[in-house]
Structure 1
Amino acid sequence: MPGMPAPPPVEPARERLIAAMTDALRRRGLHGIGLTELLRAAQAPKGVLYHHFPGGKTELAVAAIDQVVGRMTTGLDKLLAGTPDPLLAMRRWIAGATARLQETGFEAGCPLATVALESGPEDRALREALARAFGRVRERIAQGLAGAGLPAERAQGLAALIVAAYEGGLLQSRVAHSIEPMQRAADTLLALLSASPFCDPLQEPPP
């Protein structure tokens, strides 16, 4: 009808499948949702799934993990570029993740940790995707720390520590239905790093 706004474009089936899988991984893990329920959430028939992802549910999960970490690293890049103090950038990154967890009623956590906890030795493709994902996040943080003047080796070590606190804090907050575990872990870690000579690029570490 004249004057009526055009309907919003329909998201392609491939993107709907990835979005449905991402939500499932955040809330229930890979094995917590059946294929039929996943296809219903994506409004896609089984044939469309195997057209885009011949490897089925596992290949779709890998694509979802890759997309999630792409968004995470893009967000980290923006934070680190816009915040001169990399530790303040980390505080904001952690605060954003904590707020998102709280907004979902502590139901939707980080899909990387959720899938990592339930993966077994037979889930080789998933484990490789997760290893790449965690590696990319650590590398982005290490780059930010190195850009602030930290030696590369110390930057990489601190990045690994920050990611460990981030994932562990989210898991604890999720099961506790409280942001307190995440906030306490982040506050304590960042306070220690701020006071540590390892965060002073002008001071050599002790022998």
Structure 2
Amino acid sequence: MDTKLQIIETSTPLFQHYGYKGVGVTEIIKACNISKGSFYHHFPDGKEELLIACLKSIDEKITTHITEIFNQYPTTKEAVRAMIDILVNDFEQEGRIVISTFTSIISEIGSLSESVRNACSDLYLKMQAIYSAKLEADGFSIESANSIALMMIASIEGAIMLCLTQNSSQPLKVTARELPKVLNNVM
């Protein structure tokens, strides 16, 4: 495997689990079994440059994952329920939610750079576009679909954060139960 890709693939779960501030270059170098020189050869601007590469890497995984789920179900309500069920299962099996979140990384966003904020924003906009397209297919206007999609992201990402802080899948289960009701009321 290419060293740069190895660094990204090894560092992504570290950032997801411990956050940006919780992982140092020393831990990354050790986990990758590389030298400091090799790290800085691939990421001359350091850990922040690596974080952006990791965000771009999970961007594709997350949007592909969500798209696949949404393409399997005829309505937004069914797709959201299925997606949240997968998140609940991941949390209950692994004690964390890896494939579908980068919330733990961006919870520190206030202290990070504009380029990191932009990378995170791009991913959220892609997620919103997937949700919005499904809502439009359900008959919502573009404006309503965009607003509801934003609310869906906030609900799901907030539930993920609560799962992690409470060490319980209950917030996602509640979101899975209540979000379809909200969608019913809007239709």
Structure 2 residue aligned with 1:14: 4
Q: TM-score, normalised by structure 1?
A: 0.82
| Contact 1:110–1:170 (8 Å) recurs in 2 | no
1:48 is aligned with what amino acid? S
**Letter of the aligned partner of 2:130 in structure 1?**
R
State yes or no: 1:31 paired with 2:21.
yes
The answer as to whether partners of 1:119 and 1:127 remain within 8 angstroms in 2 is yes
How many residue pairs match? The answer is: 187
Change (3 A) 1:34 1:106: same
Q: Which of 49, 57, 72 does residue 62 from structure 2 map onto?
A: 72
Alignment equivalent of 1:159, drawn from 133, 149, 153: 149
User: Is the 1:98–1:170 Cα contact (8 Å) retained in structure 2?
Assistant: no
The alpha-carbon deviation at position 85 of structure 1 amounts to 1.5
Bigger relative contact order (CA 8 A; separation at least 6): 2
Alignment partners' CA distance in 2, 1:94 and 1:59: 31
| Greater helix content | 2
Q: Give the aligned CA root-mean-square deviation in angstroms.
A: 1.9
Q: What's the TM-score once normalised by structure 2's chain length?
A: 0.90
Displacement of 1:111 in angstroms is: 4.9
In structure 2, do the counterparts of structure 1 residues 74 and 111 end up closer, same or farther at CA, with 3 Å as the change threshold?
Answer: closer
Distance 1:122 1:169 in 2: 23
Query: Structure 2: 5+ residue runs without aligned partners?
Result: none
**Contact 2:109-2:117 at 8 Å conserved across structures:** yes
Give secondary structure in 1 for the equivalent of 2:102: helix
1:118 deviates by 1.2
| 1:61 is the counterpart of 2:31 | no
Measured after TM superposition, the shift of residue 147 of structure 1 is 2.3
Conserved? CA contact 1:35–1:57, under 8 Å: yes
Q: Which amino acid aligns with 2:156?
A: Y
1:105 partnered with 2:95? yes
Residues 109-133 of structure 1, C-alpha deviations (whole Å, 9 max, x = no match): 8653222221235522211111111
Distance 1:48 1:144, change over 3 A: farther
Kept in 1: contact 2:133–2:145 (CA 8 A): yes
Give the deviation of 1:157 after TM superposition. 0.8
Change (3 A) 1:80 1:122: closer
Equivalent position amino acid for 2:116 in 1: L
Is 1:168 aligned with 2:168? no
1:58 deviation in Å? Answer: 0.5
The residue identity in structure 2 corresponding to 1:75 is: H
Amino acid at match of 2:74: P
- Mark the runs of 5 or more structure 1 residues left unpaired by the alignment: 1-10, 200-207
Paired residues of 2:76 and 2:134 also in contact (CA < 8 A): yes
| Structure with greater Cα Rg | 1
Choose from 75, 78, 84 the match for 1:94. 84
Query: 1:4 aligns to what?
Result: none
Q: Match of 1:72, as an amino acid?
A: I
| CA-to-aligned-CA distance 1:137-168 (integer Å, 9 cap, x gap) | 11111112112322111111111111111111
